[in-house]
Amino acid sequence: MTDALNAILVIVLVMNLFVLGTSRILAVINTVATQGALLGVIPLLVHTHLTISVVLTSVAAIVLKGVVIPSIMIRALRDAEIKREVEPLIGLLPSIMLGALATAFALLFAGELPLAGEHQSALLVPTSIASVLVGFIILTSRFKALSQVIGYLVLENGIFIFGMLLIDAMPLLVEMGVLLDLFVGIFVICIIVNHINRAFSSLDTRLLASLKE
Amino acid sequence: MVSPMSIKLVQFAILCAALSGVVGLFVRRSSLVGQRIATLMMVFGQVCGIAGAVSFFHSGEVQSIRLSWPAAGDSLVGLDALSAFFLIPVFLIGGLGSIYDLGYFPQSLHPRNGRKLRLFYGGLVAGMALLVVSRHALAFLFGWEAMALSAFFLVSTEDHRRECRRSALIYLVATHVGTLSLFALFSLWKWSTGSFILDPAAGAGMSFGVVTALFLLALIGFGLKAGIMPLHFWLPGAHANAPSHVSAILSGVMLKMGIYGLVRVLSLLPDPPGAFGGLLITLGAISGLLGVVFAIGQHDLKRLLAYHSVENIGIILMGLGLAMLGRSEDRPEWVALGMAGCLLHVWNHALFKSLLFYSAGSVVHGAHTRQIDRLGGLYRRMPLTGTMFLVGAVAICGLPPLNGFVSEFFVYVGLLESGISEDGGGLGAVIAVPVLAMTGALALACFVKVFGSVFLGNPRSESAANCHESPFTMRIPMIVLAICCFAIGLAPALLGPVLDGAIRTWNGGATANVPGVGDVAPLREIGVTSISLVGAVLLFYLFMAIRGRRSEKAGTWDCGYAIPTSRMQYTASSFAKTIALMFGWALGTRTHGPRVEGSFPEPSSMESHVDDAVLDRLIVPLSLGVTRWFRWFRRFQQGLTQHYVLYILITVVAMLCTLMPFDEFITRLFER
């Protein structure tokens, strides 16, 4: 079981790096969608005996992250008529290096944490921290509004993986609430993306700074 | 066992006050119904409240009831002589102010802010009454904050004016700093006594350091509210810019809540060292003298009255300091005299300062300006207002036969006695008595200036010439207050028992038996002298009336100048100039212009103003400096989301790094 889990988590880590190193936004969205769907499988693997709540979490995560959110984003992408993140603050290759550094840091750090026995061997904690850090890197280095959304998604994926440690302790309601928040957040941002595009004829979030006092 | 009737009445009064403005919120904006209901509720409630306090003075039984209010622990509300004493001005001025409101701030003329004013006026009165009767720190703070915030909204009633918003903001900052200090005070109290209940017995056995810390915290927290001299900076602006009946209750009653807090906390502290009393007397002397000096420099009628509040707080503080000195030196007669002066001056100042603010409001209502140098000749046009102002002025200057004399007399006698005695250190005689005398003299000069230039002479502006007497509802409260001023001045002996009760309550913790006020001060003699003085004046007036001599009317400048104008009169500023020059070191009057050059000079203008010593010369430059320093941080706030997220990332990584055992990593690296 742990081997399958770790295999998925390694794929997730690789996908993080791919997201950092690609400029075509459609490809990035598809990657994140796949990542989300893969993550949706994890609850089934972590727990040997399946309960209703685990299955529900899994299904909701797969549907939402794998299908609904990507389709909203692709639609927004089509409306905004852009294809690439043209001028990231940090170039693509340095981004990958940073992402690799963050992953290494996460692995080192997780090794030092006093974790419960069953979580020691799995890569859950390092993957979670690495995804959070990668999400942050995307958020700080990309300027297009849609890239920002992707950053949030990766960040949330990291938090979702961490939540897997607690799925027994955490009520279903919390998990569902988090997913709902994510959905609403992305939904709203995609609408805003459209508005930013119309107001500034660009999706560059730096232009929003002109709104400050 | 007396049934706690008095406290029930007081509770009812508080409830009435708190709810008085609510009805007005539900009726039409321009309708007068809400205002009338508010006044009715206020007056009825406050009469009940006064009845409760007076009935307490009759029975004399300390009463307390427990509120079932879980948020404040087991909150205690009680009535003792000290509370009842401070309740009387709260209810009296509160009720009179709401009558005054009918004429001064009619809802039909102020549809935008009248309802707000009424709501928070009720809240202010309720808050003050609650804090006076509370025996529990949390209930006290609740009342305190209700009072402080209501006062903020009252000061900002006319918030379309810029200076009004500024004063309200300064007041808000000052009051919150004070509240912060009170939080610290009561936390320390809880820490040292184990409970929030304000009970004198609980204070026994405190260490000297704790007592000193409690004293200093109380001095800062309550001193900010009372307006003791370096902490008075919020006061002039707030009082000048509030509507006049609000200024009256702020100055006459709300400042006294600071005094009440100080009096109450000092009564709880065991074995105060002599330095407390000395510090209080010194602060009182500074407030008294500088308050009146700054008052002389003002050109704005209400601002001037506000500075006089600082002066009177100084006198009250001197009385309190003397009583503290008496407690630490074990001299009961000083306690009696000092406390009697302090407490009676609380009442007196509430009465005559409200009277003065009401008549100043009447002037503003009639002439539409507060600038003394634009008024003049109002006595002929508004005789009642003028007379009432005169009564208030005589009272505030501490002249017989009015009430101000009685309380200042107590303080004089007490300070002199402490100066004569060997162990008083002569502090009272050396510093306080001359300062008190000088304060009185300067106050007299100040009010000669005000009365002379506002009510006598010729009008200096169109609006002053066209002004009219105020409506009936504004005159009633003034007359009531003037009668009270005369009553206390003519028959101070009647107040003896009330003062004795309050002083004994204050001194409850101390062992010494305090003598009655009547035994240490010649109350009867004061009364007889005052009555005979009034009688003599009346006789003289009657004699002159019978002889029928009338003064002739003639032009003021009739000695050869053809076209005199009213602008040739002495202005208030020129009248005060001599004294203002004498105290130039404190006042720092700034004069701009006039420029007169050449043989045929151009038309020029001249103006002068007095900045507040603490606010304009210390606090404002200081906060500007701080603002400039913090401008450096702007570079971190560029409005880019990416930057903000980066800050979060840096914080997260830094926090994660603190968990990492880097030493171990390094050693492990080198092992390999």
Q: What is the pLDDT of residues A74-129, one digit of tens each?
A: 888 888 777 776 677 788 888 899 999 999 988 888 877 777 666 666 788 889 98
CB distance from A112 to chain B under 8 Å?
A: yes
Q: For residue B665, what is the nearest residue in chain A, using CA coordinates?
A: A108
User: What confidence tier does A212 reach under pLDDT thresholds 50, 70, 90?
Assistant: low
Rounded Cα distance between B101 and A203, Å, is: 58
User: What confidence tier does B425 reach under pLDDT thresholds 50, 70, 90?
Assistant: low
Judging contacts by C-beta atoms under 8 Å, the chain A residues touching residue B649 are 133, 136-137, 139-140
Give per-residue pLDDT as tens, B599-645: 888 888 888 888 888 888 888 899 999 989 888 887 887 777 788 88
3 state SS of A171: coil
Q: Mean per-residue pLDDT for B79-93? A: 92
User: Does the pLDDT value for residue B106 go beyond 80?
Assistant: yes
Are B642 and A136 a contacting pair at CB < 8 A? no
3 state SS of B79: strand
Which tokens belong to B159?
């918030």
CB distance from B654 to chain A under 8 Å?
A: no
Rounded Cα distance between B309 and B124, Å, is: 19
User: Does the pLDDT value for residue B202 go beyond 70?
Assistant: no
Rounded Cα distance between B152 and B175, Å, is: 9
pLDDT of residue B571: 85
Predicted model pTM: 0.79
Rounded Cα distance between B143 and B90, Å, is: 13
For residue A52, give how far its alpha carbon lies from the nearest alpha carbon of chain B (Å).
35
Rounded Cα distance between B495 and B85, Å, is: 11
Give per-residue pLDDT as tens, A161-175: 888 877 667 777 777
Give per-residue pLDDT as tens, B507-521: 875 555 778 887 888
Q: Mean per-residue pLDDT for B134-140? A: 88
pLDDT of residue B242: 93
Rounded Cα distance between B220 and B180, Å, is: 10
Interface predicted TM-score of the whole assembly (ipTM), two decimals: 0.80
**Bridge partners of B592?**
B607
A30 Cβ partners below 8 Å, 6+ apart? A70
Are A141 and B665 a contacting pair at CB < 8 A? no
Are B660 and A108 a contacting pair at CB < 8 A? yes
Judging contacts by C-beta atoms under 8 Å, the chain A residues touching residue B646 are 136, 140
Q: Residue A112: which of B637, B649, B660 has the nearest Cβ?
A: B660
Q: What are phi and psi of A126, to 5 degrees?
A: -60, -40
Where do the H-state alpha helices sit in B330-402? 332-367, 378-381, 383-396
CB distance from A3 to chain B under 8 Å?
A: no
b/e per residue, B584-607, with b = 16+ CB within 10 A? eeebebeeeeeeeeeeeeeeeeee
Give per-residue pLDDT as tens, B280-299: 998 999 999 999 999 998 88
Rounded Cα distance between B412 and B428, Å, is: 9
Give per-residue pLDDT as tens, B311-325: 999 999 999 998 998
Judging contacts by C-beta atoms under 8 Å, the chain A residues touching residue B640 are 205-206, 208-209
pLDDT of residue B131: 92
Judging contacts by C-beta atoms under 8 Å, the chain B residues touching residue A212 are 637-639
Which of A107, A139, A189 has the highest number of chain B CBs within 10 A, making it the mutation to test binding with B?
A139
Token pair 């990668």 is at which residue?
A: A134
Rounded Cα distance between B559 and B620, Å, is: 50
Mean pLDDT is lowest, of B187-191, B259-263, B380-384, B645-649, for B645-649
User: Does the pLDDT value for residue B224 go beyond 60?
Assistant: yes
Mean pLDDT is lowest, of B18-27, B438-447, B663-672, for B663-672
User: What confidence tier does B549 reach under pLDDT thresholds 50, 70, 90?
Assistant: low
Mean pLDDT is lowest, of A64-68, B60-64, B649-653, for B60-64
Q: Mean per-residue pLDDT for B152-179? A: 93
Give per-residue pLDDT as tens, A9-45: 999 999 999 999 888 888 999 999 999 899 888 888 8
B500-505: which pairs have CB atoms within 8 A and are 24 or more residues apart? Answer: B501/B57, B501/B60, B501/B81, B501/B85, B502/B81, B502/B82, B502/B84, B502/B85, B502/B339, B502/B343, B503/B335, B503/B336, B503/B339, B503/B340, B503/B343, B504/B81, B505/B80, B505/B81, B505/B82, B505/B267
CB distance from B669 to chain A under 8 Å?
A: no
pLDDT of residue A184: 82
Rounded Cα distance between B226 and B182, Å, is: 13
Are B640 and A205 a contacting pair at CB < 8 A? yes
Are B641 and A148 a contacting pair at CB < 8 A? yes
Q: Mean per-residue pLDDT for B68-75? A: 63
pLDDT of residue A79: 81
Name the B residues in 594-653 with CB < 8 Å from any A CB.
637-643, 645-646, 648-649, 652-653
Give per-residue pLDDT as tens, B329-346: 888 888 899 999 999 999
Rounded Cα distance between B527 and A96, Å, is: 95
Rounded Cα distance between B469 and B489, Å, is: 27
Q: Residue B642: which of A108, A132, A140 has the nearest Cβ?
A: A140
User: Does the pLDDT value for residue B1 go beyond 50?
Assistant: no
User: Interhelix angle for B255-268 vs B301-329, to 10°?
Assistant: 10
Are B648 and A136 a contacting pair at CB < 8 A? yes
Which tokens belong to B13?
């009064």
Rounded Cα distance between B435 and B441, Å, is: 10
User: What confidence tier does B428 reach under pLDDT thresholds 50, 70, 90?
Assistant: low
User: What confidence tier does B2 reach under pLDDT thresholds 50, 70, 90?
Assistant: very low
Contact B576, B593 (CB under 8 A): no
- For residue B104, the tally of other CB atoms under 10 A from its CB is 24
Rounded Cα distance between B83 and B10, Å, is: 11
Q: What is the percentage of chain B residues whose pLDDT exceeds 90?
A: 44
Rounded Cα distance between A190 and A74, Å, is: 10
Rounded Cα distance between B32 and B29, Å, is: 8
